[in-house]
Amino acid sequence: MYGTGVIKRLHLWAHRQMPKREDLADNRWAGPLARRPELWRFTRRSVPRGVAVGLLVGIFALIPGIQIVCASLMCVPFRANIPLAAGMTFLSNPGTTPFLLAASIYVGNRLGFHADLAAFKALYSSGAGVSQWLGWLASDAAPALVVGLLLIAAVSAAVGYLIAAVLWRQIVARKRKRRTARPPLLLESVPAE
């Protein structure tokens, strides 16, 4: 089913570690979301929406913890899948965040805003403190960063939506083909005693 044993074990481990919707229903904060089963189902509409919401919030917010909460809340009006949206926010992690920031500044600069990439690289390589980062952002970098992040997040969400929709159709078509390829069950007549 999964190709390799490692992927199957990883899938089983993740399945055991994830909280169930019923467990979250008892939680004071997550309860209202957990009581809406349509936000937890994997359907052809909710899966691409969940991927898009998770990518949009995950790339634009860049603040761990806040991302999952914002993605979950954003799933309500869009009727998106909460587990997928929460999972997609992990695309922006400490390994990808510097690249996302540099790319967003580059995109913002190409759109006419001004942010000094050399200052960004110097602050990042020197391990600058929060006050130094805030000073750099307060200069002229904030508009370039915000516009670039918003554009990258929107494009990523659109591409993620399309990829998820196509993959979902392929998975469903493959299951349907497998189901129709099976020989029908023949019930043998059992002699009556």
| Number of domain units in the chain | 1
Using 50, 70 and 90 to split pLDDT, how confident is the model at 98? Answer: confident
- Give the Cα separation of 66 and 53 in Å (integer): 14
In this structure, the chain runs to a length of 193
Residue 184 lies in a domain: no
Is residue 10 in a domain? no
In a domain, 105, yes or no: yes
**What confidence category does residue 1 fall into, taking pLDDT thresholds of 50, 70 and 90?**
very low
Judged against a pLDDT cut of 60, whether residue 16 lies above it is answered with: yes
Scanning the structure block, which residue is given the tokens 């130094």?
A: 132
Are residues 68 and 104 in contact, defined by beta-carbon separation less than 8 angstroms?
no
> Is 5 a member of any domain?
no
pLDDT grade for 144, boundaries at 50, 70 and 90: confident
Q: Of the candidates 52, 59, 54, which has an alpha carbon nearest to the alpha carbon of residue 87? A: 54
Within-domain flag for 73: yes
Lowest-pLDDT range, 52-61, 85-94, 106-115, 179-188? 179-188
Residue 164's pLDDT band (boundaries 50, 70, 90)?
Answer: very high
Cα–Cα distance measured from residue 84 to residue 42, given in angstroms and rounded to the nearest whole number: 9
Domain holding 100, by residue range, is 36-176
Residue closest to 56 by CA, chosen among 32, 86, 29, 76: 86
Per DSSP, helices labelled H in the chain are 5-17, 21-25, 31-34, 46-61, 66-78, 82-88, 97-110, 117-126, 130-136, 142-181
Does residue 81 lie in a domain region? yes
Classify residue 8: in a domain, yes or no. no
What 8-state DSSP symbol labels residue 112?
T
At residue 52, φ and ψ (nearest 5 deg) are: -65, -45
**Is the residue at 62 inside a domain?**
yes
